Chain A
Amino acid sequence: MERIPVLRMGSLLLITIQVDMHDKLALQLQDDVTNRIAEWGSRGVLIDISSLEIVDSFIGRMLANIAAMSRVLGAETVVVGMQPAVAITLVELGMSLPGVRTALSVEAGMELLYGAGAGFRTGSEDERDEA
């Protein structure tokens, strides 16, 4: 079955959503993320939606769910790359994505999670102990 890949970069989980998701795929992703956090002890989740041209209330709720579930498991989530048309539509739809942090790009997202110059520091075990 097709799945959205969840990549690991040290303590960070990186997810790039590029397909027009049907509901089952979205639910599968929620599952996968929570399982991986538990399995790898991840501290950060970065979801890249720069290829998503449509975010409806279902997808919006999926993103909010992932953020909430991850937090319970000790990880913080950042959603990056939202397209302007999508943002405008979400506002009109009345969706505010509560509890979901956002950033303009993957780099900005990593900076938000790990601090400035984060690009080179996510592989260290120290991160987890420090935090």
Chain B
Amino acid sequence: MSETRRETLPLLNSNDVVLARQKVRQWATELKFTLVDQTKLVTAASELARNTLDHGKGGSMTIEQLAAGVRVGLRLTFEDRGPGIPDIALALKDGFTTGSGMGLGLGGSKRLVNEFSIDSAPGQGTRVTVTRWK
């Protein structure tokens, strides 16, 4: 049976992004992820939180502890009600940027986690879910 511990944080300003990073770091440390795995997950969280704020015009991050048998994992879900992403495949390509020169960092974040899923359409907001197993 899997138990889930979960918490949701708002992502409404750049300080929230810092807090989100620290929260992910804290949970990953408690679960005793290796240092490299922690760094990858926190960095991915930072990228995605920033996206939620900058492109999604603000939203939230939900962090969840997963247990599947003996495996332990952390799942992060980033949601916003922003403009959405018209071409997901394009957005996932490395080096994709929107005018201001700020890359979406989606493709890169995908490589930092074990599971990655994205749900988005123009006018319908965006939800990105990533999971890292210990």
Contacts and interface: CB of A to CB of B under 8 A. Distances in A.
Given A94-B107, A94-B111, A56 B39 contact: no
B111 A57 contact: no
B35 A85 contact: yes
Contacts of A23: 14, 17, 50
Interface in B28-43: 35-36, 38-40, 42-43
Given A20-B21, A92-B40, A56 B47 contact: yes
B81 to A, nearest CB: 21
Contacts of B101: 61
**Interface size range on B against A:** 20 to 34
B43 A56 contact: yes
Contact of B39 (A58, A61, A89): A89
Interface of A: 20-24, 53-58, 61, 84-86, 88-89, 92-95
